[in-house]
Amino acid sequence: MPIIVGAPRSGTTLLRLMLDSHPELSIPPETGFLAPLSALDQAVSSDELRRRVFDTITRFPPDAPTWPDFGVAPGELESALGALEPVTVAEGA
C-alpha cells in the first residue's frame, strides 16, 4: 500500500489525484490525524483507548471533520477497532 507523506504546498494533493485516477488504485483523501493519535495517552484501559482513537480519527479536524470523505461507516471503524487485541494507537491508525 503506498503511503504519501509530504509538507504543505509540496504537491502531495496533485500526486494523490493523479494516482487516484488510475483504475486499479483508490487513494483516500488527505488526513491529519496521525499527529493527534501519536499524542494519545496509551496508559488507559483498552476500551478507553479504542474510544479515544475512534474519536480522534472521526472528528479530525475538530472544526471540519473529514471522516465522511472516506466513505466508510463509523460502525465499520468501530468494529475493526473492537477486533484489535491488544489495542495500540499504531494498530488503530
Residue-level pLDDT at 5: 80
Q: Which regions of the chain are under pLDDT 70?
A: 1, 91-93
Residue-level pLDDT at 31: 80
Terminal-residue alpha carbon distance, the chain:
14
Q: Which residue has the cell 482513537?
A: 53
Task: Give me the count of residues in the chain.
Answer: 93
Give the SS3 label for residue 49.
Answer: helix
- In whole angstroms, what separates CA 5 from the centre of its chain? 13
Q: Is the pTM of this model over 0.75?
A: no
pLDDT, tens only, 1-17: 677 788 888 998 898 88
Percent of the chain whose pLDDT exceeds 90: 27
